[in-house]
Amino acid sequence: MKLLRRVLAVLAMAGIAAAGIRLGGSGGSPPQRGGWRPLDLPPGQ
C-alpha cells in the first residue's frame, strides 16, 4: 500500500511538472511565413 502511494505520488508530480512545461512553452512556433522564392536579378551592368 505504501509503495502504491509512492508510485502515485511520483506520477502525480511528473504530471504536474509536464503540464507546467507544456503550458509554459519554450519559444513559440517556428516562422509560418516565407520560404524560397525565385531571385529577381536587376538588369545586367
Partner 1 sequence: MSTTFHVVGAGIVGRRIERLLHERVVAVHPPRQPDLARVRPGDTVLLAQAGEHAHTASQALEAGAHVVSVGDGPTDTRAQMGLGTLARERGVALVVGASLAPGLACLIARHLATPLASVDEIHVAVHGTAGPACAREHHAGLRGPAIGWHDESWVEYIGGSGRELCWFPEPIGARDCYRVAHSAPVVLQRAFPGVQRVSFRRSATRRDRLTARLPMLRPPHPEGGVGALRVEVRGAAPDGARVSAVAGIAELVGTATAATAVAFAERVTDLEPGLVLPGSTAVPTLDLLHAVEAHGVRLQTFTGIPVSVAS
The contact mask relative to partner 1 for 7-36 (x = CB under 8 A, - = no) is: ------------------------x-xxxx
CB of 24 to partner 1, least distance (A): 23
Q: How far apart are CA 16 and CA 22, in angstroms?
A: 10
CB of 15 to partner 1, least distance (A): 32
The DSSP call for residue 27 is: S
CA count, 13 A, side-chain hemisphere, 15: 6
Q: Is 39 in the site for partner 1 (CB under 8 A)?
A: yes
